[in-house]
């Protein structure tokens, strides 16, 4: 597992850090597959910062320790109290990242082996790029069957326009420049939408983004996913986020009303409607 630069054709790729958060409710088998997918990339990370919440189960601790032993000097643990907000915990992890390029990952998803080399190659080709994401392949966690692909805008002008109503990046695919994220204050306490809030702040500051039009991350979907998408907690957090964007001056009133109406509809309708709506209108 070497550190330093890596060449693809005439381009020299920069080393990068991976930033993940881990809490006690994660399933050990999901974490194992996730870490393996990140550390066995065709262009592997030189640094993986794992923000661990206090109170992790023994099973999760065993998995983390086994990967630390196998990938010595790569995995670094940052401890966050169970009371610390997600935003503050992620900022603590970001500060610990050694490199300017940070790749985000959720602890239960799977990165395809060429995810990072493609993202880092795009950064090398476009040194002015600040944010890079990809499409997501959603799959049934029980059967491994592909359900849909979540597509997002590719070019920066479309990303900025799309961001006024929905997150223009799949959060578990995002890679960004550390200095650009810290320049806008990093993560803030935004309920369940810390990544979306950071993206909007970066776009407002003049950062440029691009999505690779390929599903390079696999996202688990189960019955709990549907419940979370229509939950009262998520709905309230979404409404607060839209008010926040209005205060930023990022959105017009109609850009606030429309997505809030959709989220409100998903909250009051039964689960089968939420499942159908996501498949019909928000996926392909």
Question: pLDDT tens across 56-114, in order?
Answer: 999 999 999 999 999 999 999 999 998 899 999 999 999 999 999 999 999 999 999 99
Q: Are residues 182 and 74 in the same domain?
A: yes
Same domain, 216 and 231: no
Number of domains in the chain: 2
How far apart are alpha carbons 280 and 284 in whole angstroms? 7
**Which tokens go with 230?**
């229509």
Q: What is the mean pLDDT of residues 135-163?
A: 94
Does residue 249 share a domain with residue 202? Answer: no
- The verdict on pTM exceeding 0.85 is yes
The reply to whether 142 and 244 lie within a common domain is no
Whichever domain contains 31, its CATH number is 3.90.550.10
| pLDDT band with cut points at 50, 70 and 90 for residue 3 | low
| Residue 77, in any domain of the structure | yes
**Could you tell me if 74 and 12 lie in one domain?**
yes
**H or E segment to which residue 157 belongs:** helix 156-163
Residue 33 falls within a domain, yes or no? yes
pLDDT of residue 248: 95
Q: Which of 184, 203, 221 is the last residue of a domain?
A: 221
The answer to whether residue 166 is domain-embedded is yes
Residue 266 has pLDDT above 80, yes or no: no
Final residue in a domain of this structure, among 221, 241, 256: 221
230 in the same domain as 198 = no
Do 207 and 229 reside in the same domain of the chain?
Answer: no
Same domain, 239 and 191: no
Q: Which domain holds residue 242?
A: 223-284
Residue 152 shares a structural domain with residue 228: no
Answer yes or no: do 34 and 65 share one domain: yes
Higher pLDDT, 148 or 178: 178
Of 38 and 252, more confident: 38
What CA–CA distance (Å, rounded) separates 62 from 70?
12
Q: Has residue 5 got a pLDDT over 80?
A: no
156 is a domain residue: yes
Look at strands 47-53 and 16-22 and give their pairing: parallel
* Predicted confidence (pLDDT) at residue 18 exceeds the cutoff of 70: yes
The DSSP bridge pattern shows strands 110-111 and 209-221 to be: antiparallel
Q: Of 221, 247, 266, at which residue does a domain stop?
A: 221
Do 24 and 55 contact (CB within 8 A), yes or no? yes
Confidence at 280, pLDDT banded by 50, 70, 90? low
Rounded CA-CA distance 153/96 in Å is: 31
For residue 66, the tally of other CB atoms under 10 A from its CB is: 12
Return the pLDDT at 221: 87
Average pLDDT over residues 228-254: 90
Give the C-alpha separation, 84 to 34, whole Å. 24
**115 shares its domain with 200:** yes
Pairing of strands 175-177, 131-140: antiparallel
107/135 same-domain check: yes
Considering the domain boundaries, does residue 1 fall inside one?
no
């Amino acid at each position: 597992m070497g550190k330093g630069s890596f060449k693809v054709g005439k381009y020299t790729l920069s080393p990068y850090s991976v930033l993940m958060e881990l809490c006690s409710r994660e399933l050990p088998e999901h974490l194992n597959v996730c870490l393996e997918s990140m550390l066995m990339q065709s262009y592997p990370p030189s640094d993986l910062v794992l923000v661990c919440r206090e109170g992790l189960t023994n099973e999760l601790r065993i998995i983390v320790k086994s990967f630390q032993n196998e990938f010595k000097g790569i995995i670094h643990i940052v401890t966050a109290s169970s009371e610390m907000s997600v935003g503050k915990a992620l900022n603590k992890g970001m500060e610990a990242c050694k490199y300017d390029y940070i790749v985000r990952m959720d602890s239960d998803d799977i990165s395809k082996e060429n995810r990072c080399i493609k993202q880092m190659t795009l950064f090398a080709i476009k040194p002015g790029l600040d944010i890079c994401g990809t499409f997501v392949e959603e799959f049934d966690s029980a059967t491994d069957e592909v359900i849909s692909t979540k597509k997002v805008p590719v070019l920066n002008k479309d990303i900025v326009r799309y961001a006024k109503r929905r997150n223009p990046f799949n959060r578990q695919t995002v890679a960004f420049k550390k200095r650009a994220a810290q320049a806008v204050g990093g993560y803030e306490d935004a309920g369940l939408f810390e990544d979306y809030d950071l993206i909007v702040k970066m776009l407002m500051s003049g950062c440029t983004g691009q999505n690779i039009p390929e599903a390079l991350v696999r996202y688990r979907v189960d019955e709990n996913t549907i419940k979370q998408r229509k939950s009262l907690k998520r709905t309230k957090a979404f409404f607060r986020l839209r008010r926040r964007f209005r205060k930023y001056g990022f959105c017009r009133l109609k850009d606030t009303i429309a997505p809030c109406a959709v989220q409100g509809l998903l909250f009051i309708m039964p689960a089968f409607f939420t499942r159908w709506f996501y498949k019909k209108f928000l996926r392909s």
